Structure formats: structure tokens, C-alpha cells
């Protein structure tokens, strides 16, 4: 009896570990998926606060945590090169790596005067990148 319970607990533990690992697996996005800036335009000179509109083709936007195939949510990298992001881990949330886990496609951004680089990163329900990553080109803007 004790042995049987121990066996069951072990099986449960393995199952849990299995599902935790599965969450970090990177799914592939449908071919042709694209994320892009509707605004601002690359090279634009803007005033702060500015409105950022995020466009998506080939997939759907859903709130974070929604486990539905073909969906994810937007992320905005502010002055953060993509190669500084560990794409195999959930993206940290901070001023430089912003999540739109409510399924937003538009945001207002306050930035200091000067040049800034923005890049969109579309990620899955668990804030993990697709493989290959779905990213926009980085754009540089000047804030007056």
C-alpha cells in the first residue's frame, strides 16, 4: 500500500515536471506571421507621450494565459536590442520590456527627449517567444 502511494506520488511528480517543461517549449508561429508598427513610423520625430499602434498578420491577439493555438500577445522592447533577450525564457516585465497581456494593440508611451529604439516582439500565452521569433524590425524615433 505504501509502495503504491509512493509510486503514484512519483508519477504525479514526473507529470508536473513534464508540463512545466512543456510550457517553456517554443511553438512555431504560422508561416508568414508578421508583427509591425502601424505607428510611429521609422525615423519619425514625435512628442512624448506618443501613441504606439501594433499590427499583426497571420495570428490573433489574446490576453496572456489564453492557451489557444495561433494566438499570443504583443511586447515592446524599448532601447533593448533583441540579442539581449533570452528567447527561451518568459520575458521579464519592466520599462524596457513591456507586456500587453490584456491583449492591447495600442499603448501610450512616455519617453525622455532624444533618440529611442523600439521593437515589437509577439510572444505566446506564457510570454515565451515563438521559434523563430516573431519580431518587427527595430525602429529609431526621435522624441522632442
CB of 143 to Cu ion, least distance (A): 24
Give the x/- contact pattern for Cu ion in 72-111, rule: CB under 5 A. Answer: ---------------------------x------------
Nearest CB to Cu ion, comparing residues 7 and 70: 70
Nearest CB to Cu ion, comparing residues 116 and 127: 127
Nearest CB to Cu ion, comparing residues 44 and 62: 62
SS3 assignment for the chain: CHHHHHHHHHHHHHHHHHHHHHHHCCCCCCCCCEEEEEECCCCCEECCCEEEEEEEECCEECCCCCCCCCEEEEEEEECCCHHHCCCCCCCCCCCCEEECCCCCCEEEECCCCEEEEEEEEEECCCCCEEEEEEECCCEEEEEC
CB of 123 to Cu ion, least distance (A): 6
Nearest CB to Cu ion, comparing residues 89 and 113: 89
- How many chain residues touch Cu ion (CB under 5 A)? 2
Residues forming the site for Cu ion (CB under 5 A): 99, 127
Amino acid at each position: 500500500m505504501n509502495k503504491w502511494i509512493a509510486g503514484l506520488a512519483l508519477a504525479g511528480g514526473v507529470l508536473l515536471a513534464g508540463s512545466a517543461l512543456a510550457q517553456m517549449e517554443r511553438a512555431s508561429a504560422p508561416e508568414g506571421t508578421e508583427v509591425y508598427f502601424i505607428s510611429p513610423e521609422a525615423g519619425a520625430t514625435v512628442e512624448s507621450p506618443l501613441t504606439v499602434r501594433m499590427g499583426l498578420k497571420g495570428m490573433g491577439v489574446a490576453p496572456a494565459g489564453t492557451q489557444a493555438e495561433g494566438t499570443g500577445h504583443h511586447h515592446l522592447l524599448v532601447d533593448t536590442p533583441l540579442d539581449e533577450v533570452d528567447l527561451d525564457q518568459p520575458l521579464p516585465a519592466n520599462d524596457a520590456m513591456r507586456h500587453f497581456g490584456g491583449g492591447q494593440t495600442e499603448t501610450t508611451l512616455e519617453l525622455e527627449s532624444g533618440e529611442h529604439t523600439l521593437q515589437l516582439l509577439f510572444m505566446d500565452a506564457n510570454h515565451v517567444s515563438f521559434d523563430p521569433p516573431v519580431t518587427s524590425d527595430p525602429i529609431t524615433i526621435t522624441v522632442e
